[in-house]
Structure 1
């Protein structure tokens, strides 16, 4: 059973079976958001996705990075990503039409960033998530 169904821009419906959300900058004790920190956050999120769903392709939706007009510290200019880091595991019908629809599903784990903590649903989801190219990124697996 899925948490929700998302309709991609291609028209394909994908089911969200697991969703993990965290504060992008939660637990940051000192310092400030900057490119080196953000690069580490992204690498960590990708590693978590690979560990959580071994054998499943992982795709990063590159987050927007804003540079507010603030003082640049020792690590360079301030660079801010959206407040919520999301890791979602999605499933859909098989990609290969030769695969038995009862025995195969396609799957993909996606890491993306969004401004608020809300579950994507239907057509009402982050546009960057709806643009995921399922046919090129997902992988068929036998269930």
Structure 2
């Protein structure tokens, strides 16, 4: 169920994740010279998961689908970084406030929502309890 204070929500094996923020751009926007290829794509994936100010710590990478057209390796055309809140990762903690994770992925353009259904399917088995961070009242 979508709540009035969320952009969207997705259901994964660990429960419901509610998107709080998203950053989207064209994967190859700004590529000035030459074409994409394995080396450029590796750099783009590395940049996607590199900690950045305002991203809330580590970024979990959903491994991108890489396709080959002729001799050129391509990533999906849209790069996404989303900040999600979800279920607590530990046993019930009375001081628990929320659990969050920044997730990076590449997807096809999608006109009826923020996250393409193929990307949601790739996230379904995301190891939320192993990679998300619990935030307690003491940490604020």
Instruction: Please report the TM-score for the alignment, with normalisation by the length of structure 2.
Output: 0.81
Distance 1:106 1:138 in 2: 6
Determine if contact 1:6/1:125 at 8 Å carries over to the other structure.
no
Query: What CA RMSD, in Å, does the superposition of the two structures yield over aligned residues?
Result: 2.0
Match of 2:108 among 101, 115, 123: 115
- The answer for unaligned runs of 5 or more in structure 1 is 71-77
User: 1:51 corresponds to which residue?
Assistant: 53
* Inter-partner Cα distance in structure 2 for 1:93 and 1:62: 23
Structure with the larger strand share: 2
Cα deviation, residue 134, structure 1:
0.9
Highest relative contact order (Cα 8 Å, sep 6+), 1 or 2? Answer: 1
Aligned partner of 1:6 among 4, 10, 17: 10
Provide the rounded CA distance (Å) in 1 between the counterparts of 2:16 and 2:130: 15
The offset of 1:57, in angstroms, is: 3.0
- TM-score, scaled relative to structure 1: 0.80
Query: Runs (4+) of structure 1 moved beyond 4 Å?
Result: none
| Number of the residue aligned with 1:35 | 38
Aligned residue in 2 for 1:90? 84
Matches within 5 A, 1:61-140: 61-70=62-71, 78-100=72-94, 103-117=96-110, 118-120=113-115, 124=117, 126=119, 127-140=121-134
CA contact (8 A) 2:14 2:87 kept: no
How many residues get paired? 130
